[in-house]
């Protein structure tokens, strides 16, 4: 970012003998220097055996420390990732004081009030217990960890840290040796087998896996118990700010039907019979492409073999995941924890992929139901794409595939124009880092520099196509999900990082309006909506709850469609302005919380 340096001359006059060397800037994670480390045999051995881990760890620490020392890393999320890996490396090497110093530095880079409180809380407790007992294992050590962790938690404001503690508890509950080793085996091992080296982009996965195995997994019961007792003793019914803000449009008024497109994994039109946008023959309007960027048919993507028969079980487990994440005790949560705990390492990947496939299958219909709730004037158009559910990319990224996708993006937006769509919900996203990671897993035999350039080329094709297509439809409001805990712009997550007058990027809160741990709060996120345990409909008509930024986006889409139904003359910039003007700032000033009731009242008054 350019900035004025009007004081430079004065500084030069006062201290002419001092020379200032400016560090090279790194603005994007994708621009970090690249390193590789020779690995022989299975990556599991790096996780399991100190003797094999140590040489790689020493070289990695040296290289990462050089990056931290030599460069001005402007993206705080990237800096945090580097510091977190250095902290784990130091702790695993017995350099406890160095690890704690890095943990303090890591904490200082946190950007949200909650993260500034909770960052490093587990390691602080472990280190304090080590100092008090002189050991790092055994009953006395575990009891001291629990004592120190609880004391640290009690000193923090509960309302601020509760979402993060719930997330920490769910992470600990679902942690197991197969879970820890899964990403190492499925994401890292194939690359190492093909190339004989471990790239610096994947090395932190190995470090984190060893850290969890050596440091956190032996403390699993202690951590879960401490977090559970803390949450139980402080549990309060936080006010639901969203229920009072909700507003439905009554049927039978002279409001105009509003075409809303769900650009997602498909929609079961049987759940929205009288609210589908239909063609001259009465069929739901539809455009669809498969994961190979080829034209497809059908409202829903084909489910993997046998998935439909297992969907009831998958739905229950997906509900269990949401309940565990939100500290909700339920039969589904208990079954999920038991299921994952009893999986063998070789079974874990397939089980998680099946859950991911089920989640994709349900996603579009669920999003549509949230976007259409309380609005009899909505008319849903289906724009179906396929999301990957496998660890190994299929297909692998390529320029040819990116160009096909680019043409499909243009065709999809043309489809919206032809059908008079006014609002489009986009609860999806991808980044240049995602593409780079997929290229690494595909192991296409190229050098690291060539792989990085290819990832950038592929990303730029997609981002350019999305930007041109959305900008070429100024009459349509596009709503994107601000997912991920980082700044969407600095992480280059499309479409959430785009800045266009007809694009609204939405972040997520819990039901009390507090920032959700899974939301982006970057500069492109201009509004926040509820993303916690929101109920919706899934294929077949069952009800389902989900917590994610993918939920907050259709909440805003829902409001936009209602505003346009009341005032059809509203342009996308006017809709965005109306949503922002009637939003309420959170107490900390970080979030503009949408208020559907106020926004609709304002639209009606102006109409």
Q: For 130-167, how does the pLDDT look when each residue is reduced to its tens digit (9 = 90+)?
A: 999 999 999 999 999 999 999 999 999 988 888 889 88
Contact 298, 288 (CB under 8 A): yes
pLDDT of residue 15: 38
Contact 426, 420 (CB under 8 A): no
Query: How much is the average pLDDT of 43-51?
Result: 90
pLDDT in tens, 314-355: 888 888 877 777 777 788 888 888 888 777 777 777 888 888
Angstrom CA distances, 94 to 100, 127, 140, 424, 494, stand at 11, 11, 20, 53, 41
Which range, 381-390, 402-411, 538-547, is most confident? Answer: 402-411
Portion of the chain with pLDDT greater than 70, in percent: 93
Burial of 33 (0-12, 13-18, 19+ CB in 10 A): middle
The CATH number of residue 389's host domain is 3.40.50.200
pLDDT of residue 276: 98
> Are 16 and 155 contained in the same domain?
yes
> Are 322 and 361 contained in the same domain?
yes
Give me the residue label for tokens 């229920």. Answer: 243
pLDDT of residue 284: 97
Query: How much is the average pLDDT of 198-212?
Result: 92
pLDDT of residue 444: 64
Tokens at 151, concatenated: 């004391």
> Are 16 and 109 contained in the same domain?
yes
Q: Which of 346, 325, 91 is nearest to 216 (CA)?
A: 91
Greater model confidence, 605 or 468 = 468
Which range, 77-86, 156-165, 269-278, is most confident? Answer: 269-278
Gap between the Cα atoms of 391 and 345, Å rounded: 15
Q: How confident is the model at residue 533 (pLDDT cuts 50, 70, 90)?
A: confident
CA atoms within 13 A on the CB side of 157: 8
pTM comes to: 0.78
pLDDT of residue 40: 85
Tokens at 303, concatenated: 């489910």
Least confident of 8-17, 201-210, 338-347: 8-17
pLDDT of residue 18: 38
> 435: Cβ–Cβ under 8 A, 6 or more apart, which residues?
397, 455, 458, 459
246 domain residue, yes or no: no
> Are 276 and 223 contained in the same domain?
no
Q: How confident is the model at residue 607 (pLDDT cuts 50, 70, 90)?
A: low
Query: How much is the average pLDDT of 61-89?
Result: 91
Among 190, 216, 234, the domain-final residue is 234
> 226: Cβ–Cβ under 8 A, 6 or more apart, which residues?
145, 146, 149, 150, 153
252 domain residue, yes or no: no
pLDDT in tens, 537-569: 999 898 888 888 788 999 999 999 999 999 999
User: Nearest 5°: phi and psi at 266?
Assistant: 115, 160
> Are 429 and 558 contained in the same domain?
yes
208 domain residue, yes or no: yes
Split into its structural domains, the chain has a count of 2
Rounding to the nearest 10 degrees, give the CA dihedral for residues 308, 310, 311, 315.
-170
Give me the residue label for tokens 């990832």. Answer: 455
Among 186, 218, 234, the domain-final residue is 234
564 domain residue, yes or no: yes
Gap between the Cα atoms of 420 and 569, Å rounded: 13
243 domain residue, yes or no: no
Gap between the Cα atoms of 84 and 87, Å rounded: 5
> Are 213 and 348 contained in the same domain?
no
> Are 285 and 325 contained in the same domain?
yes
Gap between the Cα atoms of 303 and 365, Å rounded: 14
pLDDT of residue 3: 27
- Judged against a pLDDT cut of 90, whether residue 233 lies above it is answered with yes
Gap between the Cα atoms of 16 and 425, Å rounded: 57
Count of helices and strands (H, E) across the chain: 23, 17
Contact 293, 421 (CB under 8 A): no
Least confident of 13-17, 264-268, 399-403, 452-456: 13-17
If you compute the radius of gyration of the chain from its CA atoms, what whole number of angstroms results? 25
251 domain residue, yes or no: no
pLDDT of residue 548: 81
> Are 218 and 321 contained in the same domain?
no
18 domain residue, yes or no: yes
Contact 496, 524 (CB under 8 A): yes
pLDDT of residue 487: 53
> Are 528 and 393 contained in the same domain?
yes
What three-state secondary structure class fits 315?
A: helix
> Are 43 and 164 contained in the same domain?
yes
Gap between the Cα atoms of 458 and 406, Å rounded: 10
Q: How confident is the model at residue 491 (pLDDT cuts 50, 70, 90)?
A: low
Q: What is the mean pLDDT of the chain?
A: 87
Q: How confident is the model at residue 2 (pLDDT cuts 50, 70, 90)?
A: very low
pLDDT of residue 490: 53
Q: How confident is the model at residue 295 (pLDDT cuts 50, 70, 90)?
A: very high
Gap between the Cα atoms of 470 and 489, Å rounded: 17
- E strands, 220-275, where? 258-264
Q: Is the peptide bond before 394 cis (omega within 30 degrees of 0)?
A: no
Q: How confident is the model at residue 8 (pLDDT cuts 50, 70, 90)?
A: very low
Contact 183, 352 (CB under 8 A): no
Taking residue 114's Cβ as centre, other Cβ atoms within 10 Å add up to 21
- Judged against a pLDDT cut of 90, whether residue 210 lies above it is answered with yes
pLDDT of residue 67: 92
Query: How much is the average pLDDT of 161-182?
Result: 86
Give me the residue label for tokens 């992929």. Answer: 353
Contact 300, 463 (CB under 8 A): no
151 domain residue, yes or no: yes
Q: What is the DSSP string of 319-349?
A: HHHHHHHTT---HHHHHHHHHHHT--HHHHH
Burial of 130 (0-12, 13-18, 19+ CB in 10 A): middle
pLDDT of residue 484: 55
- Judged against a pLDDT cut of 70, whether residue 456 lies above it is answered with yes
Greater model confidence, 599 or 199 = 599
Range of the domain at 550: 260-581+590-606
pLDDT in tens, 114-131: 888 999 999 999 999 999
> Are 280 and 206 contained in the same domain?
no
- Judged against a pLDDT cut of 60, whether residue 311 lies above it is answered with yes
pLDDT of residue 11: 27
> Are 228 and 269 contained in the same domain?
no
pLDDT of residue 374: 96
């Amino acid at each position: 970012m350019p900035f004025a340096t009007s004081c430079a001359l004065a500084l030069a006059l006062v201290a002419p003998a001092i020379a200032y060397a400016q560090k090279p800037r790194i603005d994007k994670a994708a621009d970090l220097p690249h390193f590789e480390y020779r690995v022989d045999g299975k990556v599991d051995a790096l996780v399991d055996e100190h003797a094999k881990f140590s040489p790689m760890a020493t070289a990695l620490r040296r290289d990462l420390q050089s990056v931290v020392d030599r460069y001005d890393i402007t993206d705080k999320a990237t800096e945090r990732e580097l510091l977190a890996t250095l902290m784990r490396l130091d702790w695993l090497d017995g350099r406890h004081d160095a690890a704690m110093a890095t943990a303090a530095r890591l904490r200082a880079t946190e950007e949200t009030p909650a993260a500034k409180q909770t960052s490093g809380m587990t390691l602080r407790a472990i280190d304090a217990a080590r100092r008090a007992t002189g050991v790092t294992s055994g009953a006395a050590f575990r009891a001291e960890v629990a004592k120190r962790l609880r004391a640290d938690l009690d000193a923090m404001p509960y309302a601020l840290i509760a979402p993060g503690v719930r997330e920490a508890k769910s992470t600990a509950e679902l942690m197991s040796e197969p879970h820890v080793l899964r990403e190492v085996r499925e994401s890292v091992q194939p690359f190492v087998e093909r190339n004989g080296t471990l790239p610096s982009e994947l090395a932190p996965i190995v470090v984190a896996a060893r850290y969890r195995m050596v440091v956190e997994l032996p403390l699993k019961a202690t951590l879960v118990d401490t977090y559970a007792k803390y949450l139980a003793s402080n549990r309060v019914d936080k006010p639901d700010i969203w229920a009072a803000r909700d507003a439905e449009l009554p049927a039978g008024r002279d409001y105009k039907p509003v075409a809303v497109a769900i650009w997602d994994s498909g929609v079961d039109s049987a759940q929205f019979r009288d609210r589908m946008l239909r063609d001259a023959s009465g069929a739901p309007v539809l455009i669809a492409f498969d994961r190979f960027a080829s034209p497809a048919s059908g409202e829903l993507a084909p489910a993997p073999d046998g998935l439909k028969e297992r969907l009831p079980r998958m739905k229950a487990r997906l509900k269990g995941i949401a309940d565990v994440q939100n500290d909700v005790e339920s039969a589904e949560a208990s079954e999920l924890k038991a299921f994952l705990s009893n999986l063998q390492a070789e079974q874990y990947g397939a089980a998680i992929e099946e859950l991911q496939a089920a989640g994709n299958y349900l996603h579009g219909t669920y999003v549509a139901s949230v976007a259409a709730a309380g609005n009899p004037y909505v008319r849903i158009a289906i724009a179906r794409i396929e999301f990957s559910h496998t660890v190994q990319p299929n297909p692998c990224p390529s320029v040819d595939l990116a160009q096909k996708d680019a043409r499909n993006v243009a065709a999809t937006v043309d489809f919206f124009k032809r059908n008079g769509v006014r609002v489009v919900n986009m609860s999806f996203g991808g980044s240049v880092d995602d593409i780079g990671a997929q290229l690494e897993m595909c192991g296409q035999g190229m050098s690291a520099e060539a792989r990085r350039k290819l990832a950038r080329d592929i990303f730029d094709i997609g981002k350019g196509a999305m930007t041109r297509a959305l900008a070429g439809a100024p009459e349509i409001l596009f709503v994107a999900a601000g997912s991920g805990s980082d700044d969407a712009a600095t992480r280059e997550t499309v479409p959430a990082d785009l800045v266009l007058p007809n694009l609204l990027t939405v972040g997520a809160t819990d039901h009390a309006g507090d920032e959700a741990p899974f939301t982006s709060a970057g500069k492109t996120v201009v509004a926040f909506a509820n993303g916690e345990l929101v109920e919706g409909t899934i294929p077949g008509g069952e009800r389902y709850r989900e917590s994610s930024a993918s939920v907050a986006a259709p909440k805003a889409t829902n409001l936009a469609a209602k505003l346009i139904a009341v005032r059809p003359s509203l342009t996308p910039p006017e809709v965005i302005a109306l949503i922002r003007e009637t939003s309420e700032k959170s107490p900390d000033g970080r979030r503009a919380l949408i208020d559907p009731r106020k926004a609709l009242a304002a639209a009606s008054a102006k109409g």
